[in-house]
Amino acid sequence: MTLQIKSLEEYHKVYKGSIDQPEKFWAKQARTFEWRKPWKKVLEYEFDSPNVKWFIGGKLNITENCLDRHLKDRGDQIALIWEPNDPSQVYKTYTYKELYTEVCRCANMLKANGIKKGDRVCFYMPMVPELTIAVLACARIGAIHSVVFAGFSANALADRIKDATCKMVICSDYNARGAKLIPVKAVVDEALTMDCDSVETVLVFKNTGDKVKMKRNRDKWWHNEIEGQRKTCRAAQMDSEDILFILYTSGSTGKPKGVVHTCGGYMVYTCFSFKNVFQYKPGDIYWCTADIGWITGHSYIIYGPLLAGATTMMFEGVPTFPDAGRFWHICEKHKVNQFYTAPTAIRALMAKGDHWPTHYDLNSLKVLGTVGEPINEEAWNWYKEKIGKNKLPIVDTWWQTETGGIMISGLGDISPQKPTYAGYPLPGIQMCLVNSDGKEIRGKDKEGLLCIKFPWPSMIRTTYGDHERCRQVYFSAFKGMYFTGDGARRDKKGMYRIIGRVDDVINVSGHRMGTAEVENAINEHPQVIESAVVGYPHDIKGQGIYAYVISQDKAVDDAFRKEILQVVTKEIGPIAKPDKIQFVSGLPKTRSGKIMRRILRKIASGDTSRLGDVSTLLNPEVVKAIKAGALS
């Protein structure tokens, strides 16, 4: 069985061993899985290209490790619990046997519809069990899944379908979220009008049963296609380094990139990190509230928990429907033991009042987790007090889409607790701080740019279709290091606190966004000449979006603002809508024409006092005007 660390002393010992002999350490973990053929070499790497390979020559199928190997000992144990959006609707459960059967039937359905090993399948689905089933079905036959968060617009969906040249799209008819019904099939139809020539089939899962249009020869109903499919499906033999999935994420420039994860290393790391961070014990009920459209859902709703033989729950709805007690109601109802959510959800629920959690019995809880953005001290304390009753550990888990799994975090109740600190790196993870010249900053009580100086099994292998971009974004800043894009502090005891992004990426309610991406969307409005987007501190969302817009011959009023919001919703989705739009006559630029975001960030945060030296700007006079017109 995959190692589960039981004390802080053991952690320090294991950590040291994992750094002294990383290959030995990871080989030992990897041997706890089922491989069709063993690997010939544990690791080969070179960060300059980059070229990273783990468990070279090893053959496996991740779903045999998620499902088949559990059938003997825990076939009748519940693998998956599904809690519906509407609390009056009955919840569903799947035992490992049942989940195995459903995945096999679905895999056969995909094969019957022409999906083969290596084909890309796009998902645009609500949080229903069929999403998990079909994702695993792809993995079973060696097809590559690319899950797109269903809050993205048709344009954004089309971009992702085209970039990965997907052969199939799997969607639902409608999504139910809170009191809203979202016509997802219609969004897919619209996306497919935008040159998505690779798509041959749209498989539609009947979720709400409301009416949709079906296109002949392209669109098929899941319930028709699944009928009569065989209940077993031989898993495809995958190479350790074959692609398991692509997941798009935003960066500081241009369009989102397709982060590529591969089978072997991802399997080993997600299982290991899951078991240790959450200190999962047999029989526990584990719940991560993330959407499977993000990496957290991939690694810690589906793969990590199932690999570990856990009972994992997925929730279709939102934290405030039908009321702000929903999360706590679900914890009581299913006797949840580990609860994993985002700071933005904690802050939103905190704002609804302290009484909500008091109405429910939260005694089953053992570990509380957070992820996605820095957690402020107030939210940390509220979580600790009101949910954890001052008894439960909080694991503040720092990681990224690119890291595949949790990199820095406490391990359940083993690790020391320090508000706003994520803590120590996991075994095998060689974090470091560097200064802007790329020199490593050693010692305690230091601040710098957060890097990782040695490979780990679940690290990004490439950005789909553009390896050079992967090199440039992550491996070119500092030689021999993976650069995270975050700044961090290391305290006297070696614990890390994440300060936040140091690049042009913003984090709005835990959703990662490129400021350039939002600017490009705003610039699509015909009367916009130029725009600049920055993040600013926001009580609930962590960061809000502040847009400075130069317009052409148009009354700068709220009607125009509304049009801009519509354009952004159309280009990206509602999550990217600016909270504030300030019309300006010019943007502060350096002599080389670069926008001075530092100044714009300061003004957006309401701090106009010390803007630093603006005299070197091309147009210092605009700063005064921007300051005068700043929105509070």
Interacting residues with ligand 7RM (CB under 6 A): 249, 294-296, 371-374, 396-401, 422, 484-486, 498, 500-501, 507, 512
Smallest distance, ligand 7RM to C-beta of residue 308, A = 18
Q: How many CB atoms are located within 10 Å of the residue 1 CB?
A: 8
Q: Let me know if 152 is exposed, middle or buried by CB neighbors in 10 A (0-12, 13-18, 19+).
A: buried
**Closer Cβ to ligand 7RM, 242 or 486, answer by number:** 486
Q: Which among 543, 590, 574, 467 is positioned nearest to 151, based on CA atoms?
A: 574
Helix/strand/coil percentages in the chain, nearest 5: 30, 25, 45
Buried-state track 167-180, b at ≥16 Cβ within 10 A, e below 16? bbbbbbbbbbbeee
Given CA atoms 140, 310, 409, 605 in this order, what sign does their dihedral have? positive
**Closer Cβ to ligand 7RM, 43 or 290, answer by number:** 290
Q: H or E segment at 279? A: none
- Looking only at the bridges linking them, the beta strands covering 446-452 and 440-441 are unpaired
Smallest distance, ligand 7RM to C-beta of residue 434, A = 16
**Closer Cβ to ligand 7RM, 173 or 373, answer by number:** 373
Are 170 and 200 contacting, i.e. CB atoms less than 8 angstroms apart?
no
Distance, CA of 276 to CA of 396 (rounded, Å): 13
Q: Which two tokens stand for residue 361?
A: 């019995």
Q: Which among 146, 401, 426 is positioned nearest to 299, based on CA atoms?
A: 401
**Closer Cβ to ligand 7RM, 146 or 401, answer by number:** 401
Given CA atoms 200, 206, 212, 213 in this order, what sign does their dihedral have? positive
**Closer Cβ to ligand 7RM, 87 or 500, answer by number:** 500
Distance, CA of 418 to CA of 225 (rounded, Å): 52
**Closer Cβ to ligand 7RM, 139 or 422, answer by number:** 422
Smallest distance, ligand 7RM to C-beta of residue 136, A = 21
Q: Which two tokens stand for residue 104?
A: 């096999």
**CB proximity list for 432: less than 8 A, separation 6 or greater:** 440, 441, 450, 451, 452, 453, 481
Return the HEC string of 372-404.
CCCCCHHHHHHHHHHHCCCCCCEEEEECCHHHC
Distance, CA of 119 to CA of 134 (rounded, Å): 14
Greatest alpha-carbon pair distance for the chain in Å reads 74
Smallest distance, ligand 7RM to C-beta of residue 513, A = 10
- Looking only at the bridges linking them, the beta strands covering 580-583 and 180-182 are unpaired
Distance, CA of 600 to CA of 603 (rounded, Å): 5
**Closer Cβ to ligand 7RM, 240 or 401, answer by number:** 401
Smallest distance, ligand 7RM to C-beta of residue 566, A = 26
What does the chain come to in residues?
632
Buried-state track 233-271, b at ≥16 Cβ within 10 A, e below 16? bebbebbbbbbbbbbbbbbbbebbbbbbbbbbbbbbbbb
Q: Let me know if 376 is exposed, middle or buried by CB neighbors in 10 A (0-12, 13-18, 19+).
A: middle
What DSSP string describes 355-376?
Answer: HHHHTS--TT--EEEEESSPPP
Q: How many CB atoms are located within 10 Å of the residue 395 CB?
A: 27
Q: Which among 459, 461, 508, 513 is positioned nearest to 254, based on CA atoms?
A: 513
Q: Which residue has the tokens 């589960």?
A: 4
**Closer Cβ to ligand 7RM, 58 or 455, answer by number:** 455
Residue 322: asked if its preceding bond is cis (omega within 30°), the reply is yes
Smallest distance, ligand 7RM to C-beta of residue 404, A = 10
Smallest distance, ligand 7RM to C-beta of residue 486, A = 5
